[in-house]
Structure 1
Amino acid sequence: MSDYVEGKSRWWGWGNLDQRFDVENRENLIPFLESNLGMDLGSERFSDPNLDEIELPEPLLPGNALDELGKLCGPENVSTSKFDRVSRSMGKSYRDLLRFRMRRIDRAVDVVVWPRKEDEVEAVLRLAEKEKLAVIPFGGGSSVTGGVEPMVKDKAGVISMDLARMNRVKRIDATSQTAVIEAGALGPEIEEQLNAQGFTLGHFPESFDHSALGGWIATRASGRQSTGYGDIEDMVLALRMVTPRGVVDTRKVPSTAAGPSILQMCMGSEGFLGVITEATMRIRPLPEVLDYRGLIFRNFAAGVDAVREMMQRGLVPTCVRLSDRSETALAQAFRSTAGPKWKRKAENAALKILATRGYSFDDGAFMVLGLEGERETVEDMKAEILSLCRKIGGFHLGASPGRQWYRSRHDTAYFREQLINWGVMVDTLETATTWDNLLHLYGEVRNALRAAIEGEAGESLVACHVSHVYREGASLYYTFFAPMAGEGEEEAQWERAKRAASEAIMEHGGTISHHHGVGYEHAPWMRREVGEISLKAIEAVKRVMDPEGIMNPGKLIPVG
């Protein structure tokens, strides 16, 4: 079902209205941030907007296009309501959340359509091409790169095609361990249907509750357990994608040598070529055991060595996440202080003893290690990995820190809502590189962010972790905080930080995106990312599949 329901959904931000981040039971968190940012938190710079505060022009739709859409999909599956249009006109990037709080939408979609089957998707695209309407495929709306925002200059109107009513697991093949899943299915809907038959997809991004299969595939997403289960492109066996010039239907085979991969071309296409309607996904039996635990290393470099060693020895965990010094200290501040006082005192005493041995959460590197699978396999793998980490200087903290991370792994996005209202710039960005370059790239991007932020804000907190790990290298995921710039300068402040980090990534051997995608925010760096000839090849495919340019205009390809 749709992830956007009036009165339930936080359309200006993350998630649902009945969910919030528990600050009260994290007594150290606010003092930690105030100390690092040099500001007092608690006073409201922004308030949550009301829908009636948003000015929205009347829908721009030619002739009887609205009636035609109703005939194609059913009038109950077409809407021009203010709530439906506003909630699908921007995603969840810092820039998006900032503009919502400023009561500003630069360009709204004109109509929302919910097709129920692939035939209706095809019919809507035919109508859109005839009437010169742009079409933006919409899954959960969790894009942080501007992927769902209308960027339209020469079209008569904009359709947001919400696939929420195409949300079924259509077939499960237990013999081949595959499932045919419609593209509008949200993460919880997929897992509920698969789990009932004893399977899992194993894709659990931070946006899991509020993102859909089609969006995952269209942006080449990665889940937090991707080290063991693979990135989304590793899970896709085949897919169907409706383009304005026909349906791409890739063959359901485990591998093929039949020329360049059309499947790979469709993955990562971000609605720029067509609408992914369903995919045949590789699934796995539900794990017997989920074992998550914590370790700490004396420094980030030692932890990186441990992660590289385990991967290159074939000791592949389901999840491994290594925080640098700043994120380790932040993780400690995030730790819940709920529960009996004696328990907290005991934990603090243990941390002090650890610090005397050189394992400090102020200076060290915290690792989350997750193993899932059959009990015997998990136990054997755990023993080998812990032995390796111990030899490299890691200290095993036990299961409690891992369990706490696992329980709260989808909660932190809610805290961003409160921080922005308090006047904190907070955003994330990510990249990836090979092991030989990882520490160099880590330092260069961190320094670029600090220089861009501190030149005007005076204080900042830049934290990073290694995750989404491979034999050859890993992803670097940054979170940065700073006091927000003065009124009218907030967006420009963020743009300077984003540009500085992106330039450092390109200059020092990273990729402009490991798993967030391109949208329009990363498009300016695509020429440097793939090269001129490859960019022309992408444009040529666009001309074949979407000659009138109706599919998600302004994304993926740099303008000018």
Structure 2
Amino acid sequence: MAETVPPSASRVRSWWGWGWADAHPDDAECVAMGALIPGSLPRPLPVPRTGDLDLPAPAVEAPASLARLVRADPADRAAHAMGKAYRDVVRALRGRLGRVPDLVARPRDEQDVADLLEWAGEREVAVVPYGGGSSVTGGVEYRGDAHRAVLSLDLTAMGRVLEVDPVGRAARIQAGTLGPDLEEQLRPHGLTLRHFPQSFEFSTLGGWLATRAGGHYATGRTHIDDFVQSLRVVTPAGVHASWRLPASGAGPSPDRLFLGSEGALGVITEAWVRVQRRPVHKASAAVAFADFADALEAVRLVAQSDLMPANCRLLDAGEAGLAGAAGDGSAMLVLGFESADGPVDGRLGQAVDLARSCGGTAARASAPPALPGPSPDARAEGAGAG
């Protein structure tokens, strides 16, 4: 298939916080949002500048053969120093970044990854694989002093769907592909991966694989390993490539070593993953509960039924109020069903009846008409999946 430039390639991420640098809320919006959160600061803090960080000079320099892939720009190094946990954002606001990468590399293909790993091994340089940088567990942050220098290996230049098998419903995708770019490239084929972690917009397929990410869907394929057919991984000992074959019970699965390994065993460069037709039949409802325990019982009944909701998410009173879903102290159960094959409003009705039997009150419901083709924006579809 012809290569296309991913939509996100021309935008710049915030180095210190979540989102795009050109999409930050202004001061008035920050103050208004802060008013909804107990204990928040009465005024916004100034946006930190990388020029004020006084970063140390890189402890190592890339060879001429790799110079086209490597940068030592202070802003780039700062942006790759940590993830996006609340703790990380606070540290960035205060300019306390810890060990900052000496260099940032952006390989363009698998051979680039292998060349960078070989050089790093020879020079005692630690390599930290980096996808979207959305880790909230310290997965992209180097800790310790066992290495001479640190190289952040940013894979987002490897962000394309390379091949689609419409008959087998699978796609071969590079590991640096961000969630929205992945869905946008599958859309012309009428297909979707339909894996939507909360970090969807700013995380990559490789990151999902390396962390065994869970998506928003309540039933069915809920973790990324459910989608995997095969992997390619560059390791210090060479390239691991698994076969795209039906599931086998003959001994341990090599892919399982890399899924969830957080990049410690190698750099995932691409994967064959299962995809599916885009859903065209959808129905959803919100059910309010005065008592949270009653809402929990409703979730249990729905989960143990054979209804298989795509979305079954319970918001407590605080979260429901902050989201604007309820302002009267009620908990809110959000239910959703979807299918590429036939109407789902009957299953939604049964789920709502179960919730009502536990004391819930249906606040709203919708059953959009079936669409003649692929459904609209994948990001909108993922936002409601819980």
Which of the five TM-score ranges fits, normalised by the shorter chain? 0.7 to 0.9
Match of 1:15 in 2: 19
- Secondary structure in 2 matching 1:33: coil
- 382 and 375 in structure 1: CA distance in 2 versus 1, 3 angstrom threshold: farther
Q: Could you tell me how far apart the structure 1 residues matched to 2:14 and 2:381 are?
A: 20
Task: Name the amino acid aligned to 1:374.
Answer: A
Deviation at 1:3, TM superposition (A): 6.4
> Does 1:71 find its partner at 2:65?
yes
- Secondary structure in 2 matching 1:181: strand
> Does 1:92 find its partner at 2:84?
yes
Of 248, 254, 273 in structure 2, the residue corresponding to residue 256 of structure 1 is: 248
Deviation at 1:206, TM superposition (A): 2.1
Task: Name the amino acid aligned to 1:210.
Answer: F
- 389 and 254 in structure 1: CA distance in 2 versus 1, 3 angstrom threshold: farther
Q: Could you tell me how far apart the structure 2 residues matched to 1:310 and 1:254 are?
A: 32
Report if aligned partners of 1:92, 1:144 keep a CA contact under 8 Å in 2.
yes
Task: Name the amino acid aligned to 2:338.
Answer: E
Match of 1:364 in 2: 330
Match of 1:284 in 2: 276
Task: Name the TM-score, length of structure 2 as normaliser.
Answer: 0.87
Report if aligned partners of 2:127, 2:150 keep a CA contact under 8 Å in 1.
yes
Of 399, 409, 416 in structure 1, the residue corresponding to residue 365 of structure 2 is: 399
Deviations 1:3-41 (A, max 9, x none): 6978x321110111232459979999655434xx3x6x4
> Does 1:81 find its partner at 2:81?
no
Deviation at 1:160, TM superposition (A): 0.8
The answer for unaligned runs of 5 or more in structure 1 is 336-359, 412-466, 469-560
Deviation at 1:394, TM superposition (A): 1.9
More helix by share: 1
Q: State which drifts further: 360-369 or 259-268.
A: 360-369
Deviation at 1:266, TM superposition (A): 1.0
The answer for unaligned runs of 5 or more in structure 2 is 1-5, 369-378
Match of 1:387 in 2: 353
Q: How does 1:154-303 map to 2 (within 5 A)?
A: 154-303=146-295
Q: How does 1:344-363 map to 2 (within 5 A)?
A: 361-363=327-329
Q: Could you tell me how far apart the structure 2 residues matched to 1:2 and 1:48 are?
A: 26
Q: How does 1:430-441 map to 2 (within 5 A)?
A: none
Report if aligned partners of 2:294, 2:359 keep a CA contact under 8 Å in 1.
yes
- 5 and 110 in structure 1: CA distance in 2 versus 1, 3 angstrom threshold: farther
Deviation at 1:52, TM superposition (A): 0.8
Report if aligned partners of 1:4, 1:11 keep a CA contact under 8 Å in 2.
no
Deviation at 1:329, TM superposition (A): 3.4
> Does 1:59 find its partner at 2:29?
no
- Secondary structure in 2 matching 1:144: coil
Q: Could you tell me how far apart the structure 2 residues matched to 1:383 and 1:251 are?
A: 43
Match of 2:128 in 1: 136
Q: How does 1:533-552 map to 2 (within 5 A)?
A: none
Q: Could you tell me how far apart the structure 1 residues matched to 2:178 and 2:223 are?
A: 17
Report if aligned partners of 1:3, 1:210 keep a CA contact under 8 Å in 2.
no
- 301 and 205 in structure 1: CA distance in 2 versus 1, 3 angstrom threshold: same
Q: Could you tell me how far apart the structure 1 residues matched to 2:243 and 2:279 are?
A: 29
- 79 and 4 in structure 1: CA distance in 2 versus 1, 3 angstrom threshold: farther
Report if aligned partners of 2:285, 2:348 keep a CA contact under 8 Å in 1.
no
Report if aligned partners of 1:173, 1:179 keep a CA contact under 8 Å in 2.
yes
Q: Could you tell me how far apart the structure 1 residues matched to 2:305 and 2:31 are?
A: 41
Q: Could you tell me how far apart the structure 1 residues matched to 2:381 and 2:94 are?
A: 30
- 326 and 93 in structure 1: CA distance in 2 versus 1, 3 angstrom threshold: same
- 22 and 362 in structure 1: CA distance in 2 versus 1, 3 angstrom threshold: farther
Match of 1:43 in 2: 43
- Secondary structure in 1 matching 2:111: helix
Report if aligned partners of 2:277, 2:340 keep a CA contact under 8 Å in 1.
no
Q: How does 1:446-485 map to 2 (within 5 A)?
A: none
Deviation at 1:98, TM superposition (A): 1.2
Higher relative contact order (CA 8 A, sep 6+): 1
Deviations 1:188-212 (A, max 9, x none): 1100011110001001122211111
- 120 and 186 in structure 1: CA distance in 2 versus 1, 3 angstrom threshold: same
Deviations 1:536-555 (A, max 9, x none): xxxxxxxxxxxxxxxxxxxx
Q: State which drifts further: 18-27 or 140-149.
A: 18-27
Q: Could you tell me how far apart the structure 2 residues matched to 1:229 and 1:366 are?
A: 24
- 100 and 410 in structure 1: CA distance in 2 versus 1, 3 angstrom threshold: farther
Task: Name the amino acid aligned to 1:66.
Answer: A
Deviation at 1:154, TM superposition (A): 1.7
Deviations 1:317-371 (A, max 9, x none): 111110123323333xx35xxxxxxxxxxxxxxxxxxxxxxxx854432011122
Aligned length in residues: 370
Task: Name the amino acid aligned to 1:282.
Answer: R
Q: Could you tell me how far apart the structure 1 residues matched to 2:129 and 2:77 are?
A: 14
- Secondary structure in 1 matching 2:189: coil
Deviation at 1:104, TM superposition (A): 2.2
Q: Could you tell me how far apart the structure 2 residues matched to 1:163 and 1:201 are?
A: 20
Q: Could you tell me how far apart the structure 2 residues matched to 1:214 and 1:377 are?
A: 34
Match of 2:3 in 1: none
Match of 1:108 in 2: 100
Pairwise CA RMSD of aligned residues? Answer: 2.9
- 16 and 225 in structure 1: CA distance in 2 versus 1, 3 angstrom threshold: same
Deviation at 1:172, TM superposition (A): 0.9
